[in-house]
Amino acid sequence: MALQIFNTLSRSVEEFIPLDPNHKEVRMYCCGPTVYDFGHIGNFRTFVFTDLVRRYLQFRGYNVTHVMNVTDVEDKIIKRVHEAGTTLRQYVSKYEDAFLEDLQTLRCLRPHHLPRATEHIPEMIQIIDALMKRGIAYKAADGSVYFSIEKYQGCGCRYGQLVNLNFDEMRVGERVASDEYTKDSLADFALWKARVPEDGDVFWPSPWGEGRPGWHIECSAMSMKLLGPSFDLHLGGEDLAFPHHEDEIAQSEGAALQQPGQKFVKYWMHGAHLLVEGKKMSKSLGNFFTLRDLLGKGYGGREIRYLLSSSHYRATFNFTLEGLDGARIALARLDECLGKLQELAGTTSAPADQKFLDAFTAALDDDLNVAAAWGVVFEWVSEMNRLFAVNQLSPTQAAAALAAWQQIDSVFGLGRKGEVEAPPEILALLEQRQAARKAKDFKRSDAVRDELKAKGWLIEDTPKGPRLKRL
């Protein structure tokens, strides 16, 4: 079976076929964090989901380019910067750093590109300019530039590709300036917001006067710059489908940068929200958790990742602290089995158990059914335990099972208990050391080993290659 995914654009499950004529390259964009505060576990459910998608595409043999933007200028940020009386960069850098650290705690692979909105203002201006030239954007009396839904539809384009919209109530020319609005306030939306006193020194020059971009244009500009005007996959939480993603499509296809007949994005995937104890997470209900709150309660990134990735991405997920305790127990069961297999396998190596891999692949090919995939894994754990109990497992079988698990874990990304994922600078040093060894430059390889030691990391050479351990 081929990989099937639910495409929000067609509202149906479709076979995933990348745009690349060789069906090898996949270009994916995920809306990143708005860095005005620490990320909460709801946000991280979405980011773990996108990380799973990337990892599974890689497991399926695709060569993935993964872009995640950092929204470092929008309404909420400006408000906070104003209240804090600081500069934009100073304000956001703390949260941007924390976000990257949190991603690593959750063992998410670092996206290949992490563009910041503030570093792509010229690209945004270019798209707005193209929309102005096509008559789809207009400057209003308040000095801001808006996207005209009427003119866009008049060009033969459709507004309302991701969600069904009721245009009956919509009054032509009615505008919405705020970045976030609901379907009820369907109206022309802001592409460029004219400078107002509350913006402080957050503004840029533009052909339409000083101001700042609307949130939606940011993602159109960054995604198309790094992935081209048409790419394979765009992801985000379900709340982003409207208006954010709908507006992204309208701006990007309205600017007509795509080849004739090509869409801005072929597949859209949206992750359902996370609820806490059955309710919407909110500070006033006291059920609001950042990742850091959970770490403070003694849970680890590995447990949190497991829990966040254990249910289907399209199902609302109910987060509870008991759920995290359950995750701890489930992982302990898995770790115990892996430990016993490792002991039995010793240095034996064997080709991966294909039956196990096939069952896992069949589960995830079915619209990323992680619950079914975990079902496969825990059935396997039971079977291994049964064979252990009757002494019917050989070192070769244990090695085959472990080899399959290693591939499966390249998707789940849990690693082994106590194993800490090394930061990119440490991984880069390990690569340098391997290169030096390959070139038989042992002086250099020893020097890199010492440097790693000074940074608190030890290299263990195993039959399967080098492993990093925290000192």
Tell me whether residue 115 or residue 323 sits nearer to Zn ion (CB atom).
115
Query: Strand pairing of 4-7 and 12-15?
Result: antiparallel
Radius of gyration of the chain (CA): 25
Based on CB atoms, which residue is closest to ligand AMP, 238 or 419?
Answer: 238
If one asks whether residue 116 binds ligand AMP (CB under 6 A), the answer comes out as: no
* Contacts with ligand AMP, 266-285, as mask; x by CB under 6 A: -------xx------x----
Comparing C-alpha atoms, which of 364, 341, 363, 365 is closest to residue 353? Answer: 341
Q: Does 31 bind ligand AMP (CB under 6 A)?
A: yes
Is 445 a residue that touches ligand AMP (CB under 6 A)? no
Whole-angstrom distance, CA of residue 322 vs CA of residue 207: 55
Q: Choose, by CB under 6 A, the member of 14, 239, 335, 451 that binds ligand AMP.
A: 239
Strand partners, 337: none
- The count of other CB atoms within 10 Å of the CB of residue 188 is 22
- Select the residue interacting with ligand AMP from 26, 100, 240, 429 (CB under 6 A): 240
Which residue number is nearest to ligand AMP in terms of Cβ? Answer: 237
Q: Please state the closest distance from residue 219 (CB atom) to Zn ion, in A.
A: 3
Q: Pick one of ligand AMP, Zn ion, none as the site partner of residue 219 (Cβ within 5 to 8 A by kind).
A: Zn ion
Least distance in angstroms from the C-beta of 8 to Zn ion: 14
Taking the complex as a whole, the smallest distance from the CB of residue 244 to Zn ion amounts, in Å, to 5
- The residues in 263-302 that bind Zn ion, with binding defined as CB under 5 A, are none
The neighbour count for residue 338, using CB atoms within 10 Å, is 19
Judged by CB under 5 A, the chain residues 217 through 236 that form the site for Zn ion are 219
Scan for tokens 């297999």, then name that residue: 341
Q: Which is nearer to Zn ion, 65 or 361 (CB)?
A: 65
Among 3, 19, 26, 45, interactor with ligand AMP by CB under 6 A? 45
Question: Contact, 208 vs 87, CB < 8 A?
Answer: no
Residues sharing a CB contact under 8 Å with residue 252, sequence separation 6 or more, in sequence order: 127, 220, 223, 224, 229, 258, 264
Cβ-based nearer residue to ligand AMP, 46 or 105 = 46
Q: Which is nearer to ligand AMP, 162 or 274 (CB)?
A: 274
Question: Both ends of the chain: CA-CA distance in Å?
Answer: 45
Residue 239: which of Zn ion, ligand AMP, none does it interact with, CB under 5 to 8 A by kind?
A: ligand AMP
Structure token pair of residue 355: 């039956």
The continuous run of DSSP H or E covering 6 comes out as: strand 4-7
Q: Which stretch binds Zn ion (CB under 5 A): 27-35, 336-344, 369-377, 394-402?
A: 27-35
CA distances from 280 to 183, 232, 276, 298 (A): 20, 32, 6, 24
Tracing tokens 């750093």 back to the chain, one arrives at 97
Stretch that binds ligand AMP, among 39-47, 198-206, 348-356, 388-396 (CB under 6 A): 39-47
Does position 237 bind ligand AMP by CB under 6 A?
yes
Closest distance of CB 9 from ligand AMP, Å? 17
43 contributes a contact to ligand AMP by CB under 6 A: yes
Among 26, 31, 272, 330, binds Zn ion (CB under 5 A): 31
Report if residue 33 touches ligand AMP, rule: CB under 6 A. Answer: yes
405-408 long-range Cβ contacts below 8 angstroms, 24+ apart: 405/338, 405/341, 405/356, 406/352, 407/59, 407/352, 407/357, 408/356, 408/357, 408/360, 408/377
Binding partner at 46 among ligand AMP, Zn ion, none, C-beta below 5 to 8 Å by kind: ligand AMP
Distant-in-sequence, close-in-space partners of 312: CB < 8 Å, separation ≥ 6: 367, 368, 369, 370, 371
Q: Do the strands 274-276 and 317-319 form a parallel or antiparallel pair, or are they unpaired?
A: parallel
Region binding ligand AMP by CB under 6 A among candidate stretches 53-61, 79-87, 237-245, 349-357: 237-245
Q: What are residue 454's phi and psi, to 5 degrees?
A: -60, -30
**Taking CB within 5 to 8 Å according to partner kind, which of ligand AMP, Zn ion, none is near residue 121?**
none
31 or 363: CB nearest Zn ion? 31
Helices (H), 60-163: 75-84, 88-105, 121-133, 149-154
Which stretches of the chain bind Zn ion, using CB under 5 A?
31, 219
Which stretches of the chain bind ligand AMP, using CB under 6 A?
31, 33-34, 42-43, 45-46, 236-237, 239-240, 273-274, 281
